[in-house]
Structure formats: C-alpha cells, structure tokens
Amino acid sequence: MEAGAPGVVDAEAGEPAARDAESGAREARDAEAGDAEAGDADTADADPVPAAVRSRLRGTVIDLAPVFGFTLTFALTHRLAVALTLALAAGAGVFVHRVARRESVRRALGVLGFVCVQGALAARTGQATTFFLPHLLLHCAAAVAAPVLILLGWPPLGVMAGLFTGEGTAWRRCAVRRRAFARGSLVLLAGNVLMLSVQIPLYLSGQAVALGSVDVFGPLVFGLGALLGWRVHRRALGTHRCPAARPARAGTSADPSPRPMETTVTERTVR
C-alpha cells in the first residue's frame, strides 16, 4: 500500500494541471471565436454602404430613360412637343417595368410624377431648359442643406449609411464616427457643387442639350461621391470601434457582467 501511495499522489497532483490546461484551451478557443466574430462584424459594417450605392446606381440607369429620351429627341428634332411626348412615354415605360418586376411602387410613382412635373414646367414656359429645372433645384437644396446638417451633427453620409445598414441614428452616439461621417459628407458636397458649377451656366445660357447631357451624369457623380466619401470616412475612422453604436444581436445581453453560473465556474477553477 505504501509503495502505491506516490502514484496516487502524482495522479491527484496532475488533476489541477489537466484542469488548467483544459481551461486554457477553452479560453483560447473562445478568444479565437471572439476575434472571428469581431472581424465579421467589421466586414459587415464596411460592406453594406458601397454595395447599396452600386445597387442604387444600377437601378438609376432605368430611371434616367425619360431624361435621356428628352435630350436625344430634342437634339435631333428641336421640337419641344415631340421631346416631351417621348419623355412622358419613357416615364410610363419605367413605371410599367418596375411594377411588372414587383419592385417598389412608391419609387415607380415617384419617377413618373417627377417626369410629369418636368413636362408641365417645360410646356408652360415653352423652354426646353425648364425641363431640367427640378433637378437643378434639388442640387441647389442639397448644396445648401449639407453644410447645415454637418454643423448640426447630422452629416448626410451618416444618415444615408444608417438607412442602408439598418443602424438608424445609433452612430450619432459616437463622436469619432460623427466626425468621420462629416469628413465623408464633404466629398458629397464637393460633387454637388461641381455639378452646379456646370449646370447653372448651361441653364442660364439656354443650352438644353448640353444641360441634359450633364444631367444624365448626375446620379453617377453622386454615386462616385458617396463611394469616395465612404472611403474617406473609413480612413478617418481608422481602427476605432464603437460597440455602443452597434445594435445588440438577438439572444445576447448588453450587460458585460458575468452570469451566476459563469461566476461559480470561475470560482471553482480558481480554487
């Protein structure tokens, strides 16, 4: 019996070491899973906005059919009535196309209604350049509103990102993200000002065909501004992460304190 005592002592002494090794391995696996989850969250935060902008750009190509049709027809015929007829027909075609594809009816009605307003203004004034006046007024309003929103802490790029990602306005709780979105919004503002610097002289000089050609590239300029603004925002953000700005995942708690069972297991491990 005495000869076997050292083996028993060695086995009992080895049990704490085995438990420590198992606990260390479990903690390493948990740490790796946490790093992978954080990486996935960061990737998800970075991807939705550029993907949504590219998707909107592809959809906007169809919405530009009335403007393109009006510009091309007026350039070939120089007859306002013919150009308006084709523009309204193209607007109706866009509406039917989106409804047939079961897309957003609100967006389809918006495009058709906007074309009707453009056509009514051009028909009332008899000037082809008036057809592009609503777009020009929208760009002017955006150029005036963007600096005000940035100063008020509501940068347009942040509002747009919140809509695309479903985050809403949670990003406003982080001062670092607000400043980063403000810098990115300056790129959007620069693109808008660039468009106005070209459109306003063309409108005042009555160059309808040139104005229509520039107007067709408006969504492209906005999309490129949004993509570049997002890159500026990400660069300004750097490695900063704001967990409070992220929505809580289903089944998880925002309270970082350990649960009773976890506390008990931790105490047993220490003992």
Condensed to tens digits (0 to 9), the pLDDT of residues 174-195 reads: 888 899 999 999 999 999 999 9
Q: Are 48 and 164 in contact (CB under 8 A)?
A: yes
* pLDDT value of residue 200: 95
Q: Are 230 and 50 in contact (CB under 8 A)?
A: yes
Lowest-pLDDT range of 61-70, 80-89, 121-130, 162-171: 162-171
Residues 6+ apart with CB under 8 A from 84: 70, 119, 122, 123, 131
* Mean per-residue pLDDT, 106-120: 91
* pLDDT value of residue 181: 92
* Mean per-residue pLDDT, 91-108: 88
107 compared with 179, residue with greater pLDDT: 179
Using pLDDT thresholds of 50, 70 and 90, give the confidence band for residue 243. low
pTM: 0.68
78 compared with 4, residue with greater pLDDT: 78
Residue 126 Ramachandran class (φ > 0 left, ψ -120 to 50 alpha, else beta) = left
Using pLDDT thresholds of 50, 70 and 90, give the confidence band for residue 30. low
